C-alpha cells in the first residue's frame, strides 16, 4: 500500500477522477468556469472567457454550490443565445475540466 495520501495517488483502475464528472449533487464541488481569459465585453458586461457578470465573478468564492449551479445554467443560456458557431475557448476548457454539462 502507498504511503501517499489518497488524494495524491492516481485514481483506482476503472475510476475517473471526481473532477471529470459533472457535479450534479449538492455535495459535489462545483468548478469555477474561469479559464483565465479575463476581459469584460463593454457591450454585454460579460467576461469574454467565462461569460459571467462582474457580480457573479466577485461573489463566486462565497456562493453555495446551488448558487454556483445557477450561474452555470446562466452561462449555458448565454452561450446558447449567442447562436451557432459562437463556441469559445471557454467551451473547450469547461469540457476538459469536467465542468457541468448543459
pLDDT tens per residue across span 66-102: 999 999 999 999 999 887 666 555 566 656 656 555 4
pLDDT tens digits, residue range 39-53?
999 999 999 999 999
Q: How far apart are CA 27 and CA 96, in angstroms?
A: 21
- What DSSP character marks residue 46? B
User: pLDDT at position 24, please?
Assistant: 54
pLDDT at 8 over 50: no
Q: Is the pLDDT of residue 22 over 60?
A: no
List the helix and strand counts (H, then E) for the chain.
3, 0
Amino acid at each position: 500500500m502507498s504511503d501517499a495520501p489518497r488524494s495524491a495517488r492516481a485514481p483506482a483502475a476503472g475510476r475517473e477522477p471526481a473532477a471529470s464528472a459533472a457535479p450534479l449533487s449538492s455535495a459535489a464541488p462545483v468548478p469555477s468556469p474561469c479559464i483565465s481569459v479575463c476581459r469584460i465585453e463593454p457591450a454585454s458586461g460579460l467576461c469574454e472567457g467565462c461569460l459571467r457578470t462582474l457580480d457573479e465573478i466577485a461573489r463566486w468564492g462565497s456562493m453555495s454550490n446551488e448558487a454556483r449551479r445557477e450561474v452555470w445554467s446562466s452561462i449555458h443560456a448565454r452561450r446558447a443565445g449567442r447562436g451557432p458557431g459562437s463556441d469559445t475557448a471557454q467551451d473547450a476548457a469547461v469540457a476538459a475540466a469536467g465542468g457541468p454539462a448543459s
